[in-house]
Amino acid sequence: MVYYSFSLYCLNESDRDVLVGNTVDWLHRFGVSVVVGDIVRSPTNSVYFLYGDPNEKTELEFDATSAGMLYSICENEQIQRFADTVNSSEMSGKTVCLFGNIRGNKIIADYNANGILPVVLWQNPSSPNSFELRNESSDTIYGFNIDPGKNSTFVVQVFKDPENCYILVVCSVDWKGM
C-alpha cells in the first residue's frame, strides 16, 4: 500500500498519472537488496551458486567467502557448482549467482566480453592495476586503480537475463586477505 500525504485529486490528471506511474515503477524495481532477498527466500534448488575455477588462484578466497556468506543465510538448499561444470541450458529458468572474476569464472568472463553485464569491467592492458567500469556504449563511467593486496575491491551487479531471471554477479578485482 502506498500512501500520499495529499489527495491525488489535487493534481491535474497528467501529473497524477506520472506520479502513480513512477510509484508503480519504484515498487517493481529490482536492485541488489531486492534480488538478495529473493535469493534468500527461494525454493529449494532454484538458485545456482557458481564459483570460479579452483585452479585459478586469483581472489579465490574472497569469492568463496562472499558466496558462503550469502549461501549461509538461504532458507533452502541451493545448487553449488564451479562455473566451468555448468552449461547454459542447466541454468535456464533459474536465478544465478556468479562469484569470481574475469580471469577465473568463465561465465563472468563471457558476460563481460560480450557486453551482457550492465557495466563491463575493463582492465587496461598497458597498466594491469588500472580498471574502468564502462556502459553498453563503452563510455567510461568510473575509473580506478588498485594497489594489489592493500584493499579488497569488487563490483556487484544485478540484471535480468532474456528469460527474465535474476543474475547476481560479484566480480572480484583484488583481495586484501585476512
- In the chain, how many domains are there? 1
Of 123, 122, 108, the residue nearest 157 (C-alpha)? 108
For residue 96, the model assigns a pLDDT of 94
Give the range of the structural domain holding residue 146, as residue numbers without chain letter. Answer: 10-174
| 4 within domain boundaries | no
The arithmetic mean of pLDDT across residues 90-111, rounded, is: 87
Q: What whole-number distance in Å separates Cα of residue 132 and Cα of residue 109?
A: 15
pTM recorded for the entire structure: 0.75
| 83 within domain boundaries | yes
| 45 within domain boundaries | yes
Read off the pLDDT of residues 143-156 as tens digits, 9 standing for 90 and up: 888 887 776 677 88
The answer for residues whose C-beta is within 8 angstroms of residue 67's C-beta and 6 or more apart is: 49, 51, 97, 99, 170
| 115 within domain boundaries | yes
Please report, for residues 62, 68, 171, the alpha-carbon distance to residue 58 in angstroms, rounded to integers and kept in the order given.
Answer: 9, 17, 11
Q: Which residue has the higher pLDDT, 95 or 24?
A: 95
| 3 within domain boundaries | no
